[in-house]
Chain A
Amino acid sequence: MLPGFGVTLGFTLVYLSLIVLIPLAATFAKASGLGWESFFRTVTSPRVVASYQVTFGISLAAATINALFGVATAWILVRYRFPGKKLLDAMVDLPFALPTAVAGIALAAIYSTNGWLGKPIYTLTSWKIAYTQLGILVALIFVGLPFVVRTLQPVLQDLDPEFEEAAASLGAFRLQTFMRVVVPELLPPLLTGFALAFARAVGEYGSVVFIAGNMPMKTEIVPLLIITKLEQYDYRGATAIAVVMLVISFVMLLLINGLQRWSRGANAR
């Protein structure tokens, strides 16, 4: 029996309680003091509902785009050989390492109507990216980019090509092999990555505020609304919306845990 179990577990529990559990519990306690009716009125007011639509709708779109390009990126990183592959692989983690505020101002500069990409897009299609919902989409794609790639990569690496060879030797077309052999294996990690990217996008603040334009009812995300309420000293309103966000975060966390367990189970097979 190794020593140190009591001390390390005790310290872990105390630290976890002080930093995470007690502050979160205090937030729920604070919200319960609001009364059900005023809580409900706050979290269903038109401006707040509009911010849910912006946040969840665009997060869903961003996670979907990340899922599509994530599959392609993971596939080429694991299966193909091409120059610059190592660099590309390392680059994928940039959104984890680059602070959100830096990403935010950089994206706003690029996609404004006189930026590197915003200008040609505007002159060609007269679409504005920065300070519209498209700007939010761009920022959320950026922050969610690594998740799908990084959940798919290890699974693809472990996926024994023998199964595909077997399918092909039995006469399956490449597409059939892919759909029947590869896709079922990739589905659990793909959903996990999608859920992680979505969860991250829903809570994201730093990279979005600079490019969003922050117009109430149009380009106002939920986290920004919490800050706006706080700046107006509307602590009750901010707490109520924060509790809604927290509940959604917990549900997402449980969902992701379930997906990861499913994913591991599928791999263990």
Chain B
Amino acid sequence: MDFSAGREAQTHANSMVFTPPKGRPTLCDPWYIRVLLIAGAVVFLGLFLLVPLCAVFYEAFQKGLGAYLAAFHEPAAQAAIRLTLLVAAIAVPANLIFGVAAAWAIAKFRFPAKSLLVTLIDLPFAVSPVVSGLIYVLLFGSQGWFGPFLQAHGIKIIFAVPGIVLATIFVTFPFIARELVPLMQAQGNDEEQAALSLGASGWQTFWRVTLPNIRWGLLYGVILCNARAMGEFGAVSIVSGHIRGLTNTIPLQVEILYNEYNYVAAFAMASLLASLALVTLLIKSIAEWRIRVSEKASISQNLEYA
């Protein structure tokens, strides 16, 4: 194609039409493209995000507040809520300790095969939740590698709480580490080294220097990890055995109630998780904003020093 012909006239036209008094001329798409894009995206997100979210609460309250609240009086519902809280209370701290340790090693030191380690930490994100559950069944189930040994000693992992905890730890494994690694890498070692040279111990340096610097990133990772831990369905579904009142988490209870056509109770339980999701998004937005603010602050600080 040859665009050289008429280029001069075109440039002239550009400077006349597309130059608003201030701002950036080329960033102004024509109004119909703006309207089309915004309308398209809003309709798309509305249909796929807002409508399902509203449907959860609508279905939950369809038969009134009484029916909604009655769903939580069921012993099985309360047991599911307790189990979900218990599983998250084990899985999230476990992955928190791992995430901080891994980020410390990866971000603060140089060692061979580091990028392989980072890839391996991401591995659970790539694995289907169903397969994540299955690998523990193949390890600890009656047909699994340790099955006969566990049976002989009366230890139950699959179709019991330990299996649910393990599967949950697996699916939420990378959340905190992958949030902290880039953050700590960007912050570098200077502040820690300064603290150490002034006589602080390793722990003091971590608590007083590193932790305050990463706290919003840490919170961000923890809430996403927690949301996934409380909401995990596929992996937990395989290892739980669906024993009502014993090994049902909230998502599994939702499935059972739904399959029994008990829609109000199913959506009532689901509304708990949907509310959790909304709170998670809110905290996430705040944390993102705080991370941006502290990044800007540290940049301007560096500029002052420089």
Contact = CB atoms under 8 A, between A and B. Distances in A.
A106 B270 contact: yes
B264 to A, nearest CB: 12
B105 A116 contact: no
Contacts of B120: 16, 20-21
Given A5-B105, A20-B124, A100-B231, A169 B14 contact: yes
A136 interface: no
A75 B33 CA distance: 11
A167 B48 contact: no
Contacts of A95: 49
A40 interface: no
Given A99-B231, A105-B258, A145-B48, A249 B128 contact: yes
Given A73-B44, A102-B254, A169-B11, A2 B193 contact: yes
A81 B105 CA distance: 42
Interface in B184-198: 189, 192-193, 196
- Interface size classification for chain A: 35 or more
A186 interface: no
A141 B52 CA distance: 13
A14 to B, nearest CB: 10
Nearest to B282: A90
Interface in A1-32: 2-5, 7-9, 11-13, 15-16, 19-24, 26-27, 29-30
B49 A145 contact: yes
A9 B107 CA distance: 11
A230 B134 contact: yes
A141 to B, nearest CB: 6
Contacts of A210: 255, 258
Given A116-B55, A145-B48, A174-B26, A23 B136 contact: yes
Given A69-B40, A227-B238, A205 B128 contact: yes
Contacts of B252: 101
A15 B166 CA distance: 12
Interface of B is mostly: helix
Given A97-B277, A99-B273, A105-B254, A171 B173 contact: no
B81 interface: no
Contact of A106 (B10, B55, B131, B278): B55
A95 B45 CA distance: 11
A87 B299 CA distance: 28
Interface string B225-269: 001001111100110000000000001101100100001001100
Interface string A95-135: 11111111101110110000111000000000000000000
B144 to A, nearest CB: 8
A172 B111 CA distance: 48
Given A23-B136, A105-B258, A116 B51 contact: yes
A169 B13 CA distance: 11
A80 B36 CA distance: 12
Interface stretch (B69-77, B96-104, B148-156): B96-104
B273 A171 contact: no
B135 interface: yes
B102 A8 contact: yes
B130 interface: yes
B128 A15 contact: no
A8 B59 CA distance: 48
A101 B254 contact: yes
Contacts of B206: 4
A102 B14 contact: no
Contacts of B105: 4-5, 8-9, 12
A249 B127 contact: yes
B44 A238 contact: no
6 residue pairs, one from A and one from B, having the closest CB atoms:
A99-B231, A203-B128, A206-B233, A3-B202, A205-B234, A223-B130
